[in-house]
Amino acid sequence: MTATTEDEAQAEVEKTSRKKRVVTLPDGKLSYSLPEFAVATTIGVDMLRKYINEDKLVARYNGNRPIILREDGLEFLRSLPTEKPSK
């Protein structure tokens, strides 16, 4: 899959099997603010902050502002479970 200008704010996730996913973010950006990464991944900003605090998502800081590097964001997305948790 390739990102188009119309859906640049959306991350593309294609399930290729139960255990492996191909994850891409819109090309051209080196990093994302938390709101941008939230839009691109459909994960809320509060949940992203939680993942950062739990050291599950790597954030770099420009002053007090967290920045998610493209590579770190992709690594985080690939680390998410491929199966729904049991209750």
Query: Taking the model in full, what pTM does it have?
Result: 0.68
- Token pair in block for residue 47: 């949940």
Q: Which of 55, 56, 35 is nearest to 46 (CA)?
A: 35
User: What is residue 45's predicted lDDT score, i.e. its pLDDT?
Assistant: 97
β-pairing, 31-33 vs 12-15, is unpaired
pLDDT at 22: 56
Tell me the pLDDT tens digit for each residue of 4-61. 433 443 444 443 344 455 566 766 789 999 999 999 999 999 999 999 999 999 999 9
pLDDT of 81 over the 50 cut:
yes
Domains in the chain with CATH codes: 10-79 (1.10.1660)
**Per-residue pLDDT at 3 exceeds 60:** no
